[in-house]
Amino acid sequence: MKIAVIGTGYVGLVTGVALAEIGHDVTCIDVDRNKIAELNQGIPTIYEPGLGEMMLRNQNANRLFFTDQHAKGLDGVEVIYIAVGTPQRADGSANLQYVEQAARDIAETLRDSVIVVIKSTVPVGTNHHIKEIINANVAPGIRVRIASNPEFLREGSALRDTFKGDRIVVGTEDPETGNILEQVYKPFGIPIVKTDISSSEMIKYASNAFLATKISFINEIANLCEKLGADVEEVAKGMGLDHRIGTAFLKAGIGYGGSCFPKDTNALVQLAGNHHHDFNLLKSVIEVNNHQQRMLIEKLITRFESLAGKRVAVLGLAFKPNTDDLRESPALVIIPKLVDLGADVICYDPIAANQGTRWISAPAVYTKNILKALSGADCAIIITDWPDIKRMEPDTYARLMASPIVFDGRNCYSISDVKQAQIEYYSVGRPSVIPETIH
């Protein structure tokens, strides 16, 4: 099938490459000429393990193309995906200007009837709004059918989520459109959930809001565990064995971040408010998460009389491993606060170190060498649970740091291993470890 994807950001590029991989003829369209130039050279413009190889393979097979010209990209296509950004406005609502512009671009370019699939995360009602824009601007006689097809991609494992996903959700106005999209996705071999458009739009928001709720819940349990002397990991294990609860997203830490959970939870609260529904539960989820990102700073302040002149190693910038994305990362809150408190900050990240100065204005040093970051540090803060951090022996801190004091926001190490390493260790929802020599 001949397909076009508008937008080559995270969702658009992964979608286009994956559809080409299963045999479709795909053209990805973006107004950013520099980005298109890089993509045409086989250079992925986002970091995602395995994506570059798959992209290049399909370009060489003449199944995947990139252009900044809508007329060229939309010529003769049967299905058009809109996968542009929906950034958060100041009030928490989704900004739909890029989706609306994509709709106008489609309408002004179309010469044949098509299915337009909105893959961008949009509030309930957006698909119908976009159809109105297209119908108001398209040439007479051209039929445009609209469909909702939300994405459930996790950064760092997007290809696995695409090819091994739990479900594909397709919301349509008529069975025929649903059947066509079912054929598009048939090679994936993944269960397809067909529903109406509004329900499909809500499934995306409800799914992310529920996962965010699980994260904030276990973090509140963790904070209570610290006060009661319990171990949140033992608690989560005991909870997760109940099949009604499950183990996923019950890992305590310093909260969720990234491009989805913060934006989608805020947007759902705003959407509810617009319809006179006070979403108190989700407001609390957001409040807990915001506090959780400040929690490590509070522990530092409790431990040290002053951070003035202290060398602080921050381990991890990205909001999660296997991505260079800093959107809503705890690092954006923690690093400026450390600088405000007078600390000399050096930050390590194996992938996102080059993104630091772009996202954080506070003065800090950035490195891809973890040993350099730890050398001579007065304390270390773990923000991202990168595999190389988790694999590192805890006694490395004792060997390299001026004072081996570690604040672990991701519970990377077992308490027993830390005790053997003779480091001072503060984690989330677990007992602190204080070497006897300090008592």
In a domain, residue 150? The reply is yes
Share of the chain above pLDDT 90, in %: 95
Residues 52 and 183 occupy one common structural domain = yes
The domain boundary residue, chosen from 166, 195, 224: 195
Residues 56 and 84 occupy one common structural domain = yes
pLDDT at 148: 98
Query: Model confidence over 305-355: pLDDT tens digits?
Result: 899 999 999 999 999 999 999 999 999 999 999 999 999 999 999 999 999
In a domain, residue 432? The reply is no
Q: Examine the pLDDT at 364 and tell me if it is beyond 60.
A: yes
In a domain, residue 433? The reply is no
Residue with tokens 């950013």: 32
CA dist list (Å): 9 to 5, 22, 35, 47, 245: 10, 20, 10, 11, 34
In a domain, residue 435? The reply is no
Q: Examine the pLDDT at 437 and tell me if it is beyond 70.
A: no
Mean pLDDT within 424-429: 97
Residues 242 and 164 occupy one common structural domain = no
In a domain, residue 431? The reply is no
CA distance 393 to 406: 13
Residues 277 and 310 occupy one common structural domain = no
Provide the domain limits for residue 212: 204-286
Other beta carbons within 10 angstroms of residue 327's beta carbon come to 18
Residues 363 and 395 occupy one common structural domain = yes
Residues 144 and 46 occupy one common structural domain = yes
In a domain, residue 386? The reply is yes
Q: Examine the pLDDT at 259 and tell me if it is beyond 90.
A: no
Other beta carbons within 10 angstroms of residue 409's beta carbon come to 26
CA dist list (Å): 429 to 214, 353, 432: 15, 28, 9
- Catalytic: 347? no
Q: Examine the pLDDT at 284 and tell me if it is beyond 90.
A: yes
Name the band, by pLDDT with cuts 50, 70 and 90, for residue 88: confident
Mean pLDDT of the chain: 95
CA distance 181 to 7: 19
Q: What's the domain count of the chain? A: 3
Share of the chain above pLDDT 70, in %: 99
The domain boundary residue, chosen from 270, 286, 302: 286
> Which residues, listed in sequence order, are joined to residue 94 by a DSSP beta bridge?
88
Residues 14 and 106 occupy one common structural domain = yes
Name the band, by pLDDT with cuts 50, 70 and 90, for residue 438: low
Residues 185 and 270 occupy one common structural domain = no
* Strand residue runs (E) in 308-387: 311-315, 344-348, 365-367, 379-382
Residues 229 and 339 occupy one common structural domain = no
Name the band, by pLDDT with cuts 50, 70 and 90, for residue 173: very high
DSSP 174-197: SHHHHHHHHHHHGGG---EEEE-H
Q: How far apart are the first and last CA of the chain?
A: 70
* Strand residue runs (E) in 251-404: 311-315, 344-348, 365-367, 379-382
Cβ atoms of 142 and 113 within 8 Å: the answer is yes
Least confident of 63-67, 161-165, 175-179, 435-439: 435-439
The SS3 call for residue 146 is strand
Mean pLDDT within 85-95: 89
Bin 121: left if φ > 0, else alpha if -120 < ψ < 50, else beta.
beta
Query: Model confidence over 116-160: pLDDT tens digits?
Result: 999 999 999 999 999 999 999 999 999 999 999 999 999 899 999
DSSP 89-116: PTTS-B--HHHHHHHHHHHHH--S-EEE
In a domain, residue 438? The reply is no
Residues 259 and 401 occupy one common structural domain = no
In a domain, residue 434? The reply is no
Bin 376: left if φ > 0, else alpha if -120 < ψ < 50, else beta.
left
The domain boundary residue, chosen from 236, 263, 286: 286
Query: Model confidence over 70-86: pLDDT tens digits?
Result: 999 999 999 999 999 99
Strand 25-29 to 64-67 pairing: parallel
59: domain CATH number?
3.40.50.720
Query: Model confidence over 200-240: pLDDT tens digits?
Result: 999 999 999 999 999 999 999 999 999 999 999 999 999 99
Catalytic residue of the set 28, 225, 260, 412:
260
Residues 66 and 80 occupy one common structural domain = yes
Mean pLDDT within 88-96: 89
34 exposure class (CB count in 10 Å sphere: 0-12, 13-18, 19+): exposed
Name the band, by pLDDT with cuts 50, 70 and 90, for residue 90: confident
Cβ atoms of 37 and 59 within 8 Å: the answer is no
Amino acid at 199: S
Least confident of 31-45, 175-189, 263-277: 263-277
Residues 266 and 347 occupy one common structural domain = no
pLDDT at 260: 87
pLDDT at 189: 97
